[in-house]
Amino acid sequence: MSTEYIRNFSIIAHIDHGKSTLADRIMELTGAVTSREAKAQLLDDMDIERERGITIKASAVTMKYSCEGKEYMFNLIDTPGHVDFHYEVSRALAACEGALLVVDATQGVQAQTVANAYLAAGTGAEMIGVINKVDLAAAQPEITAEEIEHVLGMKKEECLHISAKSGLGVQELLDAIVKRLPAPLDRGNEPTAALIFDSVSDDYRGVICYVRVFAGKLRVKQKIRFMSRGRAYIVTELGKLTPKMTPVDELGAGEVGYVIGNIRTLADVTIGDTITDDAAPAEKALPGYKAPMQMVFSDFYPGNNTDYDKLRTAFEKLAINDSSFSFIPQNSPALGFGFRCGFLGLLHMEIVQERLERENDIDVVQTAPTVSYEILMSDDTVKKIDSPSELPDLSKVKELREPFVRLEIITTTDSIGGIMKLAESRRCHLLKTDYLSQTRVIMEYKAPLAEIVYDFYDLLKGISHGYATMDYEFMDFEESDLVRIDILVNKIPVDALSLIVHRTKAESRGRRLIVKLRKTIPRHQFEIPLQVAIGGKIIARESIKPFRKDVTAKLYGGDVTRKMKVLKRQKEGKKRLKSVGQVQIPQEAFMSILEDSD
Amino acid sequence: MSVENKHAGFNCAEIALYIHIPFCEKKCRYCGFYSEPIELHNAESLVSALVAEMGRYQFGGNIRTAYIGGGSPSILPLELLLKLVGEVVSCCPDVEEFTIEVNPGQVDEGILQKLHDSGVNRLSIGGQSFNKSELEFLGRGHQAADIKRAVSAARKAGFGNISLDLIFAIPGSTLQSWEYSLGCAIDLGVGHISAYSLTYEEETPLAKLRERGKVAAVDEETDRAMYETAIEKLEQAGFAQYEISNFAKPGFQCRHNLFYWANKPYIGIGPAAASYWQGRRTTNVADSEKYIQLIQGGESTIAESEEPNEIEIACETAVLNLRRRSGIDLVEFKKQTGFDALELFADASANNERLGLIEQNEGRIFLTRKALPIADSVLCDFAGV
């Protein structure tokens, strides 16, 4: 098929603006699924995704569409909408020539609308503005169109008004895809270059790569090579997703589909990598490839009742289907053996946590998530650490650098004041403010990632009564006046409770921290001193008083069964804590140290 | 039904008998036991049923201690009570300690004399407090003077073995008011005193009042001080603390309760009564009418039943033994449960020893003095392995 009749496009939008519903509707209208077959939002595979209403993995569907007598091949690539998965979104967009930018007419332009639009523009994708949910009473399509024009420079007359739910305007949208989105370039005669924009590990088929062929072609039995790693594989199966996996003999230039070869694990595949022919390889890899960058780290230790091996097995299982999640063995003098885990962001971490609990019968104690830091040593080498306990002796350190991000907040004008105060308290630096409309504004900050990675989003939502949305992107590591706060529980330094903070906040943060700890660590049979140290010097103390009375007055015949149950529960309760010396520390204590509010 | 017990190698020739009288004049605010107003029931049918249930066993000469508790046994019409006592004496010819619980306002010398002559040789008097406001708060139907009178009457009736129950940490009480009650109790010259911290049992009127904030429990520090004071003062007065809440002058320990704390078998008769018999812990239905029906129908009166396994028995034994100041006797424990306590509870012992809450000496493991007020936090370590 000539590439003239191919259209590769993505749907990008802020969460819940209707991306998946639109994908459903398009698949229905093109006959890819019948309305009876269509389980709502077919593209979301995992239960968790469906539950949380988010797409984690990008997926693709090939459809046929007739327009003015000609048959077109539509390749729709679904994308994750969340800030943590920027890179995946950018690669999915790089696989397309166009993108449908969907905006909810009752919500208007939001943070991820903007973030995704910039990503699309960055890959050169042609965009069509699509205003959705126009049939709702609260819809304000004209105002939304104005915002789109104002913020993104897309002409408001050219935006389509639709209701993905009812199908209103979707037919016209399909025609617009044909007429306004460019066809892929015909580079069939060039050496093979195909972009891997997603991958998944299937129980039966093994590792599956989703690809967009840019040049040349892929054939079954072909020997291919992954250009970033240099490893070669034989193609055992090729196909398209219609949306079911439908094998083909060849995938040509401009086409989208899946590749199965003798690839053993998901870890062998990197999103954004280029597949080429081993015998006649392309000179250069396709642009834009980046190794996934983990931004957030947390240590997981088995709870008193779970063993280390069980935890390791659980992590291995999780990593099979998530190549951006990593875990390495970790040993804490206070907590024993565990794992240091890396995530793309906080949402990614929460998803992994949930899957860990749901799919396994284990208790874990998890340290508060931290970001990584860069250290310029006195011998001019640069070290990267992702845990406060790895901070070397400060006498050997020239510069401590923390990660900064460009933070975008879209909110209503009446919460500007509160948000500015919050941002200021978190060392954010305002870069610019832009009004989307009379009532909405977009604020751009340079923010230290450590200050916003944990509870900033929740506080933002609180201040703005739920209206604010935010997105951030990594900028760089910059020098900062940072120190490490150490906590001693019962005179034992607990490295898992250490925190790296800005010097100006260290003392107040330290004091608040042990007050919080005093409230979350249960009383014991003995007094527990809590101390905060900065640079080895104790700067504050608190104390957890022992409980004074814990005894059953009467224990006679008929009381035995009941009392044994109560005592056993008391004993079990101790297991859900982590022992540090004689002190039992609950999970909440580790997390509570990160809360910067009272 | 023959007298057998599942415990291997353990001398089960001795068992204890408990009989529950589920009637009261009125319910005290804090009471978590099963009892009902006596007017609503046919006491005679109940006592006949109790006798019938006893008849289902063949005690032979194995019952060593008998205990009639409740409820308020002394609310029963005297002839019914005497009938019951008579049955016990005839079923259990070798009983050595026979206790009845009485309320101070419900007995006089005449009644006590008859009880004594029928074979009861120990009296447990529910005094609770010698402070008027506290007695009113608890909802007891008697006055402080009644306690004195009852003890005096008991002596005249021939009782040498008298125990007094006391409650501390009553809302509104102070350390001084508690010391006063203690003093009065000691001055009465009884041989045995039980001192209990007021417990807010689930579903009682008192517990509900506390939940709703209408009643403020005595604070932890004062509660503890009261307990410490009790131990101190009673020791000074010649009482030896032999269990967490129980104090006895030499020779006056309650042998019946010692069965519980030794985790030895016992048989419970009556509605809501508990038994530990033939390896099973059972509880009778907590309903007088239903109980009578079941007895009359020749059916089992058991409402709940559990059969602890070896390990569970070992843990129960350890926890109960540790309630005694003498603690776990390692040789006895091994004989009774088949386990070596030091091995089975190696971690629990070591950890608590390190904290000074457990001590090991002369073949025994026991709670230290300083562990007593927080005993449960130590006992829970022995509740499972």
Same domain for A43 and A159, yes or no, is: yes
Same domain for B234 and B322, yes or no, is: no
Question: How many domains, in total, are found in chain B?
Answer: 2
- A555 — contact with chain B (CB < 8 Å)? yes
Angle at B35 between CA B32 and CA B39, to 5 degrees: 150
Same domain for B116 and B202, yes or no, is: yes
Q: What pLDDT digit, counting tens, does each position of A528-550 carry? A: 999 999 888 999 999 999 999 99
Q: Counting Cβ atoms within 10 Å, is residue A497 exposed (0-12), middle (13-18) or buried (19+)?
A: buried
Across chain A, mean pLDDT equals: 86
Contacts of A563 in chain B (CB under 8 A): 319
Same domain for B353 and B210, yes or no, is: no
Test mutation, A304, A525, A550, A551, chain B, max B CBs within 10 A: A551
- B367 — contact with chain A (CB < 8 Å)? no
Q: Which of A132, A156, A180 is the last residue of a domain?
A: A180
Asked, for residue A105, whether it belongs to a domain, the answer is: yes
Same domain for A531 and A570, yes or no, is: yes
The span from the CA of A10 to the CA of A79, in Å, is 7
User: Distance of alpha carbon A104 from its chain centroid, rounded?
Assistant: 22
Same domain for B46 and B122, yes or no, is: yes
- Is the CB of A548 less than 8 angstroms away from the CB of B273? no
pLDDT of residue A596: 56
- B228 — contact with chain A (CB < 8 Å)? no
Record the tokens describing residue A277, joined without a space. Answer: 């022919």
Residue type at A263 in one-letter notation: I
For A450, the domain range is 374-480
Number of cross-chain residue pairs from A and B with Cβ atoms under 8 Å apart: 105
CATH number at residue A458: 3.30.70.240
Q: What is the three-class DSSP state of B129?
A: coil
Interface confidence: ipTM more than 0.85:
yes
Same domain for B23 and B147, yes or no, is: yes
Same domain for A237 and A198, yes or no, is: yes
- B377 — contact with chain A (CB < 8 Å)? yes
**Which residues lie below 8 Å from residue A327, measured CB to CB, with a gap of 6+?**
A300, A315, A319, A339, A340, A341, A342
Kindly tell me if the per-residue pLDDT of A104 is higher than 90: yes
- Cα A140 to Cα A156, A440, B55, B77, B323, distances in angstroms: 13, 14, 86, 85, 74
Query: Which residue of chain B is at minimal alpha-carbon distance from A571?
Result: B380
Kindly tell me if the per-residue pLDDT of A246 is higher than 50: yes
Test mutation, B15, B30, B379, chain A, max A CBs within 10 A: B379
Q: What is the pTM of this model?
A: 0.66
DSSP string, A211-253: EEEEESEEETT-EEEETTT--EEEEEEEEEESSSEEEESEEET
Asked, for residue B237, whether it belongs to a domain, the answer is: yes
Measure CB to CB from residue B221 to each of A548, A563, A567 and give the nearest one. A548
Same domain for A361 and A250, yes or no, is: no
Same domain for A13 and A121, yes or no, is: yes
Measure CB to CB from residue A551 to each of B354, B376, B383 and give the nearest one. B376
Kindly tell me if the per-residue pLDDT of A53 is higher than 50: no
Q: What pLDDT digit, counting tens, does each position of A132-184 carry? A: 999 999 999 999 999 999 888 889 999 999 999 999 999 999 999 999 999 99
Record the tokens describing residue A304, joined without a space. Answer: 């008193």
Test mutation, B259, B374, B378, B385, chain A, max A CBs within 10 A: B374
CATH number at residue B356: 1.10.10
Q: Which of B245, B261, B277 is the last residue of a domain?
A: B261
| Listed range (A193-197, A579-583, B4-8, B326-330) with the worst mean pLDDT | B4-8
User: What is the rounded (10 degree) CA torsion for B87, B92, B96, B99?
Assistant: -30
For B367, the domain range is 317-382
Smallest Cα distance from B199 to chain A, Å: 7
Asked, for residue A283, whether it belongs to a domain, the answer is: no
Kindly tell me if the per-residue pLDDT of A585 is higher than 60: yes
Record the tokens describing residue B39, joined without a space. Answer: 């007017």
- B379 — contact with chain A (CB < 8 Å)? yes
Question: How many domains, in total, are found in chain A?
Answer: 5
pLDDT of residue A424: 93
Q: Which of B229, B244, B261 is the last residue of a domain?
A: B261
CATH number at residue B62: 3.20.20.70
Chain B, residues 333-362, CB within 8 A of chain A, namely 351, 354-355, 357
Which letter, b or e, does each residue of A20-45 get, where b requires 16 or more Cβ atoms within 10 Å of its Cβ?
A: bbbbbbbbbbbebbeeeeeeebbbbe
Cβ proximity of A517 and A530 under 8 Å: yes
Same domain for B254 and B362, yes or no, is: no
The span from the CA of A519 to the CA of A130, in Å, is 51
Same domain for A137 and A161, yes or no, is: yes
Task: State residue A230 phi and psi, 5-degree precision.
Answer: 80, 5
Task: State residue B339 phi and psi, 5-degree precision.
Answer: -110, 155
Which residue intervals of chain B are DSSP H helices? 43-55, 78-91, 109-118, 132-138, 144-156, 175-187, 205-211, 220-236, 255-261, 288-296, 310-323, 330-337, 341-344, 346-354, 375-379
Task: Work out the percent of chain A whose per-residue pLDDT is above 70.
Answer: 93
Same domain for B254 and B376, yes or no, is: no
- A204 — contact with chain B (CB < 8 Å)? no
Chain B, residues 9-28, CB within 8 A of chain A, namely 18
Asked, for residue A242, whether it belongs to a domain, the answer is: yes
Asked, for residue B245, whether it belongs to a domain, the answer is: yes
Which letter, b or e, does each residue of B299-333 get, where b requires 16 or more Cβ atoms within 10 Å of its Cβ?
A: eebebeeeebeeebbbbbbbbbbbbbbebbbbebb
Q: Which of B242, B261, B280 is the last residue of a domain?
A: B261
Q: Which of A434, A465, A480 is the last residue of a domain?
A: A480
Same domain for A33 and A172, yes or no, is: yes
Q: Mean pLDDT over residues A385-392, rounded?
A: 83
- Is the CB of A557 less than 8 angstroms away from the CB of B274? yes
Measured between its terminal Cα atoms, the distance across chain B in Å is 34
- Is the CB of B374 less than 8 angstroms away from the CB of A570? no
Same domain for A242 and A315, yes or no, is: no
- A34 — contact with chain B (CB < 8 Å)? no
Q: Which helix (H) or strand (E) holds B164?
A: strand B161-168
Task: State residue A272 phi and psi, 5-degree precision.
Answer: 95, -5
Residue A349 CB neighbour total at 10 angstroms: 23
Asked, for residue B373, whether it belongs to a domain, the answer is: yes
Split at pLDDT 50, 70, 90, the class of A35 is low
CATH number at residue A356: 3.30.70.870
- Is the CB of A561 less than 8 angstroms away from the CB of B281? yes
DSSP string, A505-558: HHHHHHHHHHHHHHHHSPP-SS-EEEEEEETTEEEEEEEEPPP-----S---GG
Asked, for residue A289, whether it belongs to a domain, the answer is: no
CATH number at residue A127: 3.40.50.300
Same domain for A103 and A235, yes or no, is: no
Same domain for B335 and B245, yes or no, is: no
Asked, for residue A333, whether it belongs to a domain, the answer is: yes
Cβ proximity of B311 and B38 under 8 Å: no
Asked, for residue B278, whether it belongs to a domain, the answer is: no
- A508 — contact with chain B (CB < 8 Å)? no
Q: Which of A459, A480, A501 is the last residue of a domain?
A: A480
pLDDT of residue B329: 97
Same domain for B251 and B328, yes or no, is: no
Same domain for A156 and A260, yes or no, is: no
Kindly tell me if the per-residue pLDDT of A52 is higher than 60: no
Asked, for residue A53, whether it belongs to a domain, the answer is: yes
Same domain for A469 and A584, yes or no, is: no
Task: State residue A128 phi and psi, 5-degree precision.
Answer: -115, 125
CATH number at residue A579: 3.30.70.2570
Q: What pLDDT digit, counting tens, does each position of A411-463 carry? A: 889 999 999 999 999 999 999 999 887 888 999 999 999 888 877 888 888 89
Asked, for residue B64, whether it belongs to a domain, the answer is: yes
Scan for tokens 């999640």, then name that residue: A325
Nearest Cα neighbor of A187 from A283, A278, A91 is A283
The span from the CA of B43 to the CA of B37, in Å, is 11
Crossing angle, helix A86-94 and helix A111-123, to 10 degrees? 40
- Is the CB of B276 less than 8 angstroms away from the CB of A556? no
The span from the CA of B364 to the CA of B379, in Å, is 15
Asked, for residue A45, whether it belongs to a domain, the answer is: yes
- pLDDT averaged over consecutive 10-residue blocks of chain B (385 residues)? 39 85 86 81 92 88 93 92 95 94 93 96 95 91 93 96 96 96 96 95 88 91 96 97 98 96 95 93 94 95 94 96 97 95 94 94 96 95 92
- A291 — contact with chain B (CB < 8 Å)? no
Measure CB to CB from residue A570 to each of B223, B320, B376 and give the nearest one. B376
Same domain for B322 and B254, yes or no, is: no
Query: Which residue of chain A is at minimal alpha-carbon distance from B351?
Result: A582
Asked, for residue B273, whether it belongs to a domain, the answer is: no
Asked, for residue B224, whether it belongs to a domain, the answer is: yes
Measure CB to CB from residue A556 to each of B260, B378, B379 and give the nearest one. B260
- Is the CB of A564 less than 8 angstroms away from the CB of B319? yes
pLDDT of residue A555: 92
pLDDT of residue A595: 63
Test mutation, A556, A559, A563, A566, chain B, max B CBs within 10 A: A556
Smallest Cα distance from A547 to chain B, Å: 8
- Side-chain half-sphere CA neighbours of A275 within 13 A: 35
Same domain for A7 and A107, yes or no, is: yes
Cβ proximity of B371 and B353 under 8 Å: no
Q: What length does chain B have?
A: 385
Measured on CA atoms in the order A573, A579, A580, A581, is the torsion positive or negative?
Answer: positive
Same domain for B76 and B225, yes or no, is: yes
Asked, for residue A288, whether it belongs to a domain, the answer is: no
Same domain for B329 and B211, yes or no, is: no
Asked, for residue B302, whether it belongs to a domain, the answer is: no
